[in-house]
Amino acid sequence: MKKFKRLSCVLLAALTALSVAGCGESDKAESKANEKTNNTESKYVGASTEFDGDITGKITVLTNRTDLVDTDLKRYAEVFEQKYPGTEVEYLPMEDYESDTSILFTVGELGDLCLIPASVAPSEFKTYFEPLGTDDSLADDYMQEALVADTYDGIVYGLPSGCNVSGIAYNKRVFHDAGIDTLPQTEEEFLDALQKIKDNTSAIPYYTNYHDTWALGQWQAYVSGVSGDSDYINNKMCSEKDPFADGKPSYKVYKLLYDVVEQGFCESDPATSNWEQSKEMINDGKIACMAVGSWAVSQFKAAGSKADDIGYMPFPVTAEDGKLYQSLSTDYAYAIPNSAKNKPTARAFMDFLVNESDYADTQGMISIVRGSEYPDFLKAFESIDLVANNAATVDNKGKWTNVNKASELDLDKGSQYQVDLIDTALGQSHRGHKSLEDVMAEWNEKWADGIYQVESESGK
């Protein structure tokens, strides 16, 4: 998991730098743009005419990747500056992006190119960012599933830097040594594979990362894929009184976790698990597999000398129609603030990062560019339909998040209720549960209470 420290005096200095940025080459570029008639038709219907103008001058780019500023990001800037002589790219790294950008929002200084913070609701996109075009006009060039999260009323305001899928990281050598020739495609096949690993190797078949509660939140990401329905999370589950009933997507996901633990395939003492140590252990073949997003694969590969042993498989739970789907989520999306001083150059650099740079590939993500090849470790996903959550309707705006919070389940962040599920499977639950059905019944009750609270507060 990516972790960054809070930016302090550096951010204050950056505020001054951003204000000054409007007085140099970017002002000249904007002046030139204003002198143009701006009657050139945009490639994308609905795109801002503010992008018309000369690609020149300096731009300031906000980024959360403090770890890449002096390496990959520097390389991209240099290639772009060579492609467009007279341009200059300056990065403003944010060690705590969400917190630091909230300060920049208050003073209206978000640079020329930024990443859309998670705190900005889709209905607020047009308040802060320039439109990039309609989702229909962009769909020929980009995966439409990848545009959903940064679209509002059919207008796209951000282009994701890449896409992650939710599957299972595994050690290929351990699976081979256990006699597993094909990757499991169903719950039963997955449990059979773990049994073979337990019987034929010394590796821990499955590692829960129970101690680092956030890791249990990874399981919630599987629900949309198992539903096979892009509308399920934000427009159906948010109003569903019993989403954990037997046979429903959430039940099927969490039943697999329960079965894995109850059948003795996890570490002997989950309470002592350690996320950082687990990276080394799966690299070394001491752990066979873990439930985690595809973003973690690069970390597992870098954690030891056996990077080639790390693989990534689809989550092995089928939807109601018997097909295997996988959840797709987008990484931070590039956006051009309304307050940007040099919008033509910012748009050109955004296009360069998305269409020409190798950022998505080096970070183990799927490029949003239509027709792009998947990274080698995600080849098993190429033939599988990916499910990205559609934005909530006006009536359901923010409802899933509010119900999740009001219910106290906090499933997407990792919570004590997911810990309790594992404790129940181990026979050690402090809540006194005796079965999976008891846990799911409690979760249904709490979810229904959450819906009642949210709807009461909204007057519905």
Quote the mean pLDDT of the chain.
89
Spatial distance between the Cα atoms of 101 and 15, rounded to a whole number of angstroms: 11
Tokens of 2: 């990516």
Spatial distance between the Cα atoms of 365 and 384, rounded to a whole number of angstroms: 16
Q: Which percentage of the chain shows pLDDT scores above 90? A: 72
Q: Which of 33-47, 189-203, 235-249 has the lowest mean pLDDT?
A: 33-47
Specify the pLDDT at position 195. Answer: 98
Q: Which of 1-5, 7-11, 153-157 has the lowest mean pLDDT?
A: 1-5
Q: For 49-71, what is each residue's pLDDT tens digit?
A: 999 999 999 999 999 999 999 99
Torsions phi, psi of 70, nearest 5?
-95, 0
Q: For 79-128, what is each residue's pLDDT tens digit?
A: 999 999 999 999 999 999 988 998 898 888 899 999 999 888 888 999 99
Residue 171 has pLDDT above 80, yes or no: yes
> Residues 242-254: what's their mean pLDDT?
97
- State the pLDDT confidence band at 213, using cuts at 50, 70 and 90: confident
Q: Give the 3-state secondary structure of residue 217.
A: helix
- Contact at 8 Å (CB) between 265 and 195? yes
Specify the pLDDT at position 43. Answer: 79
Torsions phi, psi of 114, nearest 5?
-140, -175
CA distances, 351 to each of 82, 313, 344 (Å): 15, 31, 11
Specify the pLDDT at position 457. Answer: 86
Question: Cα angle at 29 between 25 and 31, to 5 degrees?
Answer: 115
Element (H, E) at 325: strand 325-330
Residue 29 has pLDDT above 60, yes or no: no
> Residues 389-399: what's their mean pLDDT?
85
- Contact at 8 Å (CB) between 157 and 371? no
Specify the pLDDT at position 397. Answer: 82
- State the pLDDT confidence band at 429, using cuts at 50, 70 and 90: low
- Contact at 8 Å (CB) between 189 and 198? no
- Contact at 8 Å (CB) between 63 and 69? yes
Q: Which of 38-42, 182-186, 272-276 has the lowest mean pLDDT?
A: 38-42
Specify the pLDDT at position 65. Answer: 94
- State the pLDDT confidence band at 433, using cuts at 50, 70 and 90: low
